[in-house]
Amino acid sequence: MTDLLRILALWRGRTFWLAFGILISLAALACGAAMMALSGSMVAGVVTGAALAAPFALRVLGPARVVLRYLERLATHDATFRALADLRVWFFRGIATSSAGGLGFRRAGDVLARLVTDVEALDGIYLRILIPLAGAVLLLPVLAITIGQIDPLAAVAVLLLFAASAFGLPLLSARAAAGLGGRLSTTGSALRVACLDALHGLREVRAFSAEGRMLANVQACESNLLAAQHELSRRGAIAAAGAFLCAQVGILVVLLAAGAHPAQAALLVLLAVAAFEAVSGLPRAGVTAGQAAGAARRVLEAAEHGPAVPDPAPGAPLPKGSALRFEGVAFAWAADRAKVFDGLTIDIPQGARVALLGPSGAGKSTLAALALKVVAPQAGRVLLGGADIATLPAAEVRSRIGWLSQATHLFDDTIRGNLLLAKPDADDAALWAVLEAAQLGGVVRTLPDGLDTWIGEAGARLSGGQGRRLALARALLSTAPVLIFDEPCAGLDAETERAFLATLNEVAEGRTVVLIAHRLTGVERLDRIFRLSAGRAVAAAG
């Protein structure tokens, strides 16, 4: 629950709007309760003293309640939109600086997608938890004063029941939901993995006629998920039933007490009915809160992790040259994992075209991560233009090194929007020049919307080869003197791969090109070739 409070603290800047929403909602609630109580008193014929005032008051309260409810909806939704904008910007800034940037680097797209779902789960905190809770807090003294004046004993009983229904049971259901959170997410991801296995492996499944087995596996995983969901629904339903029962007993108490107070009997009962109805949704809000608490914990962990490689306090000036040198570098992703590099030394002179080859698992991508300061070596140094990059701010290092890999993302935006990311002030001529260089200009020209063509989610409206060429054009648009291509053709078929590598030979004249691959196709134009093995680099013949 402290995690939820920390999320609320993020919204400090919106205090006015959030409080305004709460105030209006309280006014609407008070209006509703007053209306119910007043109309009860009237029909009971006990307001003869104010025979004229009462109908008038009712005529005012009715419209007032409608108007207030309308304003409440507007105010609370407006506040929610403000809060969710803040939350997203904060989260984005957080993962941009924290190691989650490294997560993106390591193609953990699904981890990130799950975090986004968690952020989404936090949107309802204000509207679905805070607002009804504030209503309950307001109603508690109202009930205490109104009923307490008439019948203190009944008031104590009603207040206890009200507190149980508005605070106790929601707390219990929040606990239950939080406890089930782990089971829900493990069974949910098991189902996802089972489905992915069956579909990603469609060829294997057909070749080994495993359709029945795969379907049975998915069904078993689904049953586990449904069982977990059923348990959650059952606990939520029990909490809601408990709250309902509290309300019923409360009304019964008031009914029993009413006999002693004929004049206020109707007021008492209808006020109790209205009050309990107002908080009837809270146990369910408790379930939401329980789930949001888990989400809050994960979101805070990811966003407040801090950078993996802290920037030096006063950054050294950026050197003129851009020769890259790895000097006795040792690195392991975690203390308990095998070392990826141990005494790695490579020289990549400025303007050279170099290939680094190695089987998968030899740490080829780690090399790019080290050069880009996503991670720092545990021993040794990485030098850029002769300066240890540990002494340079990460942003400066990255401005010198362009990066293209399988994890390079194409955004659900236009071709122009994707390119401009590399250089926001580039003009159309510059965009066309890099598209031509990447041999994509012809294709883009035939598109009816040209540069303004929307490329779809992850470039879905482009073919695999076209997508990679667009990423190449973006890398070329940046003025970085060093370009690292990390398995740029992964996932492409052999023919497209060769065509892409042939294009690569023609571009980036004068820049340093580092091609990281598991093998060469023979079309690459290179100055030097290194082989990575046993954590070191060995020069290999071209």
Partner 1 sequence: MDTAKRTARLWLREQTKRGQRAARPAIALGLAGAAAAVVQAWCAAGALDAAIAGAAAPLGLLAGFAVLALLRTVLGLLAEQAAFRAGAAARRRLRTDALHRLLAAGPALLRGRHSGELASIVVDRIEALDGLFARYIPAAMLAVIAPALIVAVLLWFDGVAALILMGTGLLVPVAMALSGLGAAAASRSQFAALARLQARFLDRVRGIATIVMLGRAADEAVALGRAAEELRHRTMRVLRMAFLSSAALDLAAALALVVLALRAFAHGAAPGIALFELLLVPEFFAPLRVFAGAYQDRMQAVGASGPLAEMPPAPEPAPPLEIRTVEARGVSVAFETVNFTWDPARGPALNSLSFRVPAGETLVLAGPSGAGKSTVLEILLGFVHPDSGRVTLNGADIVTLVPAALSRLTAWIGQRPVLFAGTIRDNIRFARPEASDDEVAEAARFARVDGFAAGMQRGLDTQVGEGGFGLSGGQVQRVAIARAFLKNAPLLLLDEPTAHLDPVTEAEVLESLKRLTVGRTVILASHSAAAHAFGGRRLDLRDGTAAAPARGVA
- Within 128-157, which residues bind partner 1 (CB under 8 A)? none
Q: With binding defined as CB under 8 A, does residue 258 bind partner 1?
A: yes
Place of tokens 């408790």: 286
Nearer to partner 1 among residue 288 and residue 478 (C-beta):
478
Site string for partner 1, 176-215 (x = CB under 8 A): -------------x-xxxxxxxxxxxxxxxxxxxxx-xxx
Backbone phi and psi for residue 347, each to the nearest 5 degrees, phi listed first: -115, 125
Mark residues 457-496: x for contact with partner 1 by CB under 8 A, - for none. xx-------------------x--------------xxx-
Residues of span 10-29 touching partner 1 by CB under 8 A: none
The one among 160, 163, 238, 379 contacting partner 1 by CB under 8 A = 238
Give how far Cα 48 sits from Cα of 41, 118, 386, Å: 10, 57, 95
Q: Which of the residues 439 through 458 are near partner 1 (CB under 8 A)?
A: 457-458
Nearer to partner 1 among residue 5 and residue 92 (C-beta):
92
What is the C-alpha to C-alpha distance for residues 149 and 152, in angstroms, rounded to an integer? 6
Q: DSSP 3-state assignment of 385?
A: coil
**Interface with partner 1, residue 521, by CB under 8 A:** no
Structure tokens that stand for 467 in this block: 């997508």
Question: Restricting to residues 280-309, which ones interact with partner 1 according to CB under 8 A?
Answer: none
Among 144, 160, 237, 330, binds partner 1 (CB under 8 A): 237
DSSP H/E element including 384:
strand 379-384
Q: In the stretch 398-437, what mask flags binding to partner 1 with x, by CB under 8 A?
A: xx---x---xxxxxx--------xx-x-------------
For the bound state, the minimum distance from the C-beta of residue 1 to partner 1, rounded and expressed in Å, comes to: 26
Alpha carbon separation from 370 to 466, 472, 474, 514 (Å, rounded): 28, 21, 22, 13
CB of 500 to partner 1, least distance (A): 13
For every residue of 310-356, DSSP letters joined together read PPPSSPPPPPS---EEEEEEEE-SSTTSPPSEEEEEEEE-TT-EEEE
Structure tokens at 147: 């009923």
Q: Give yes or no for residue 337 binding partner 1 (CB under 8 A).
A: no
499 exposed, middle or buried (CB, 10 Å; 0-12, 13-18, 19+)? middle
Considering beta carbons, is residue 20 or 328 the nearer one to partner 1?
A: 20
Calpha distance 326→390 (Å, rounded): 12
Round to whole Å and give the CA distance between 164 and 170. Answer: 8
The residue from 142, 163, 255, 376 that contacts partner 1 (CB under 8 A) is 255
Q: Is 442 left (phi over 0), alpha (psi -120 to 50) or beta?
A: alpha
Q: Are 299 and 118 in contact (CB under 8 A)?
A: yes
Stretch that binds partner 1, among 43-51, 293-301, 320-328, 445-453 (CB under 8 A): 43-51
Given the rule CB under 8 A, which of 89-97, 158-166, 175-183, 325-333 is the region that contacts partner 1?
Answer: 89-97
How many residues sit in the footprint of partner 1 (CB under 8 A)?
136
Q: Which is nearer to partner 1, 205 or 344 (CB)?
A: 205
Bridge partners of residue 357, in order along the sequence: 517, 531
Q: Which is nearer to partner 1, 211 or 379 (CB)?
A: 211
Q: Alpha-carbon distance 103 to 110, whole Å?
A: 10
Residue 88 and residue 120: Cα distance in Å, rounded?
Answer: 9
Cβ nearer to partner 1, comparing 5 with 256: 256
State in angstroms the smallest separation of the CB of 276 from partner 1: 11
Cα(337)–Cα(263) distance, rounded to whole angstroms?
A: 79
Q: Binding of partner 1 at residue 328 (CB under 8 A)?
A: no
Residue ranges in 90-129 that form contacts with partner 1 under rule CB under 8 A: 91-93, 95-97, 100-105, 109, 112-113, 115-116, 119-120, 123
Closer by beta carbon to partner 1, 5 or else 81: 81
Residue 63 or 306: the one with the smaller Cβ distance to partner 1 is 63
- Euclidean distance between CA atoms 313 and 32, whole angstroms: 59
Check: CB of residue 366 under 8 Å from CB of residue 331: yes
The HSE-up count of residue 163 (CA atoms within 13 Å, CB side) is 9
Q: Which stretch binds partner 1 (CB under 8 A): 165-173, 257-265, 287-295, 447-455?
A: 257-265
Asked if residue 245 binds partner 1 (CB under 8 A), the reply is yes
DSSP string, 479-511: --SEEEEESTTTTS-HHHHHHHHHHHHHS-TTS
From CA 220, how far away is CA 193, in angstroms rounded? 12
Asked if residue 316 binds partner 1 (CB under 8 A), the reply is no
Q: Quote the least distance from Cβ 55 to partner 1, whole Å.
A: 6
311 scored as a contact of partner 1 (CB under 8 A): no
519 is a site residue for partner 1 (CB under 8 A): yes
Q: Which is closer to partner 1, CB of 205 or CB of 501?
A: 205
Structure token pair of residue 352: 């050279």
| Sole window of 30-38, 167-175, 316-324, 439-447 interacting with partner 1 (rule: CB under 8 A) | 30-38
Q: Cα(472)–Cα(488) distance, rounded to whole angstroms?
A: 9
Per-residue contact track with partner 1, 340 to 359, x per CB under 8 A? -----------------xxx
In the bound state with partner 1, the residue whose beta carbon lies nearer, of 366 and 478, is 478
- Encoding tokens for residue 254? 């008031």
